[in-house]
Amino acid sequence: MPLDPGLSLADRAAHLNERYRNHAAISVMELALRDHDVGETALVSSFGAESVVLLHMASVLDAHLPVLFIDTQMLFPETLAYQAELADKLGLTNIQTIRADEAAVEFDDPDGTLHQFSTDACCALRKTVPLERALSRYDAWITGRKRFQAGTRAALEFFEPDGETRLKINPLAMWGREDIEDYMVNNRLPRHPLVAKGYPSIGCAPCTSPVKPGEDPRAGRWRGSAKTECGIHFINGKPVRIGKENAA
């Protein structure tokens, strides 16, 4: 039965979580993509270390699903090459490259050094604002967030409100690291080339460094600062800003 259109976004998410509570990750994606109570949906991908899992699921379910790829123009060359490789190998036909407005970059970061003075401002300029503009056309978006990644995600559900206008879908919410590894191995999926060089979590080149054995997988992101999130994930409509002990 369709949900009451007058329900709040939080109530819609709660009903959808109940509807899909016992489903596997790929089933959540498959059913959500054709559920009228979810609406128009896009997959947002960084083409990072674990991104291939959701991208492969998308290729199986709907190769023409909109995939929003945020090119901050500060990515590693290996990430750009990996993006092209996966698009070809998986047959993804609707990858939309999202970039910051050229005039805004020229005004706020003309020499490309903003990240040295304010990583938050740089992320907002090159990632958060462009993504928000791209997502304005959609009712929901798919992310690769998982419960094991942080204490702040320990109760993560398949569906959650994203601000006041969109749903966020987290098909891999219940997966552990071993599930990700098994899926990649069983489906013979190509790895991001930087993973083998000590980068288990990959963002922009100026703000990502290799991780030493025994370190947290995200220790190389914004190393030496309290920053752990770029700002594209929200709680109660506000950008996440958390300390290292709750790294996401």
Provide the annotated active-site residues: 230
Q: Are strands 67-70 and 95-98 parallel, antiparallel or unpaired?
A: parallel
Backbone angles phi, psi at 234, to 5 degrees: -125, 150
Backbone angles phi, psi at 64, to 5 degrees: -100, 10
Please return the burial class of 19, using the count of CB atoms within 10 Å of its CB with bins 0-12, 13-18 and 19+: middle
- How far is residue 152 from each of residues 9, 45, 116, 148, 187, measured CA to CA in Å? 20, 21, 27, 9, 30
Beta partners for residue 162, in sequence order: 166
Sheet with 140-142: list strands edge to edge. Answer: 95-98, 67-70, 41-45, 140-142, 166-169, 159-162
Is the separation of the CB atoms in 162 and 234 below 8 Å?
Answer: yes
How large is the C-alpha radius of gyration of the chain? Answer: 18
